[in-house]
Structure formats: C-alpha cells, structure tokens
Amino acid sequence: MEESYNTVAQFDSPYSVTVDLNGNLYVADQLNHCIQKITPAGVVSTLAGNGTEGYKDGTGQAAKFNCPLGITVDSSGNFYVADQLNHCIRKITPAGVVSTLAGNGKEGYKDGPGSAARFMSPYSVTVNSDDNVYVADTFNHCIRKITPAGVVSTFAGNGKEGYKDGFGSTAQFNSPIGVAADFDGNVYVADTFNHRIRKITPRGAVSTLAGGKKGYEDGIDTEAQFNLPTDVAVDSDDSIYVADTLNHCVRKVTPAGEVSTLAGIGTEGYRDGPGSEARFNYPTGVAVNFDGNIYVADTNSYRIRKITPAGVVSTLAGSGMWGY
C-alpha cells in the first residue's frame, strides 16, 4: 500500500487502534493482515505487514501477520500486537522491526518463557507503566501477563469459561476480547460474552464494574446493559470507554460505575455528528489520547472515527470501501 490521505485510504475490517505520544494512530487492519499508521495530518501508510496472511518476523512489509486484532504502544514507542490466528504476541520496534514476543504460531494454553508459551486466539493487548503486557487470551477465557523478558503467566482466569469474581485463577471470564491498563496498574476487561466490564487489581482481584444482562441500557453498575462489548480504553481520570459492538455505540463508564452512551444510539449505520445523531457499524476498537479524544475502529464501516470529549463524531480515515 502506498501512502494515502484520510478518506482516500482503505482498510479491511479494521479491528483496533492505539495512539502514540506524538498523536499518530496505529490500526490493526485485520483482513489486510497489517498494521497501518495515520499521522495527525491524515496520511495513512503501512508500518508492518503487506496485505498477505502468514507468519514471518522481519522489517516492515517483509513481516507477515494472520488477522492481527489488538495493538498497543509502550512509552518507548514499541508496539505489541495480538496476532490472532498465529496465536502469538508480536513486537514492533519504532523502526518497524517485527519479532515474536511470546507464543510460536501454535494454539494451546501454556505458561512459560517466550516461544514455549501458548495462546488460543488472543484478541487484545495492553501495556502498563512497567512494560508488562496483558493479553486477552480470548478462547482460553483468561487474561495473561507477559514480562518485558517475555515470560508468560496467567494473571486471572483459569482456562474455563464462566462468570465469577474472585482472585486470580478463581475468577472466570467468557471469551474476553478487550483489555486496558490504567496508571495505577489496574486492568480493565471487556468480558464480551458475559456482557460485562471487569476490573483486575495489580494483585489479581477480579470484580465486576458494570453490566450484567445482554441489552442496551444506561445506568449504575449491574443495572447497565451491554451487547457484546469488545474493547475498552481508560483515560487519565480512570473513566472507561467501551466499544459496545452489537449496540453500535461507544459507552462511558465512570470510576463509580455509572454507564452512559457517549456516541451512537444502538442502531447501525454511518453518520458523523454529535452524540446520539452519530451512527457506527460494528465498532470493535477504542483508544483515548491525553486530550480526551476517543478513536474508534468502526469495523464494518471500514473507517477510523474520532469522538471529541463533548461527543462529536467525525471520520478520521477510510473511504467506506474495503481494500488495501
């Protein structure tokens, strides 16, 4: 893919986004099997991968991914990618050099160092201030932790689907898809098929922050309802933003557990505008910058959207047609 400008650029089912300290956005472009970069000026280019599925370390477009779904960036500008169908976590340096941090392309469930570890369709990654990487190991129904040295352990959950608050391996999740870490080391989880937002403390205590029954309802704590929430992002005030995928909207959860709808209204479509006038089509990824702007991977619109703190939605990149 050559460089393109905002609405001329094309994506194929973009799944997640992250933003670096310079305001550049990075997109896990799922079915193009690559990571794309969007500058503040709206220039879109490929950071790594080349539009062809595969499993290969290397630099830039020489590297290959297979349905990359999650992406995050650390304070040094390194990227971590949940390479779903390669069942591993990849690392990309600021220069675009791709390596495998953990896993080796084979599915399974195993803790251990680097290539000895196994994942099963990891969907999302986040990194904390200590450069520990947390993984939504979706089909293993748990959250994994990877140290900077590449040692993998199970942080919460036990490999069995269910719903249970508790500590470490006593807790249960049901196909968790999204993870985000705050400045205090707490990890928030979009527990997708439980339709809940969960919180894990640095010591591994799991609780339910919001949600319960499948549906679409604002409210407090378990009174609120989500429909397959797939991603979460946390701002500097510890408010959580949720890609509420099958409700086609972006929700906000305060630290007190109060849930409101920031943009969208529960009906699929494509429209820019303020708050409930905006429309999304299967939004799956959210990220927030230091100014409080939220970025959304609007998957079935093949676009990247922006929401201001006031809830005004605009299109940042993407033509609305799939392609590469």
pLDDT tens, residue by residue, 169-196: 999 999 999 999 999 999 999 999 999 9
Mean pLDDT of 65-87: 98
Non-local (6+) Cβ contacts of 91 within 8 A are 78, 79, 80, 81, 98, 99, 100, 101
pLDDT at 10: 85
pLDDT at 318: 82
pLDDT tens, residue by residue, 117-162: 999 999 999 999 999 999 999 999 999 999 999 999 999 999 999 9
pLDDT tens, residue by residue, 256-295: 999 999 999 999 999 999 999 999 999 999 999 999 999 9
pLDDT value at 238 more than 90: yes
Closest CA to 15 of 4, 31, 2, 3: 31
Helix (H) or strand (E) holding 178: strand 178-181
Distances (CA, A) of 7 to 44, 48, 58, 292: 10, 21, 29, 23
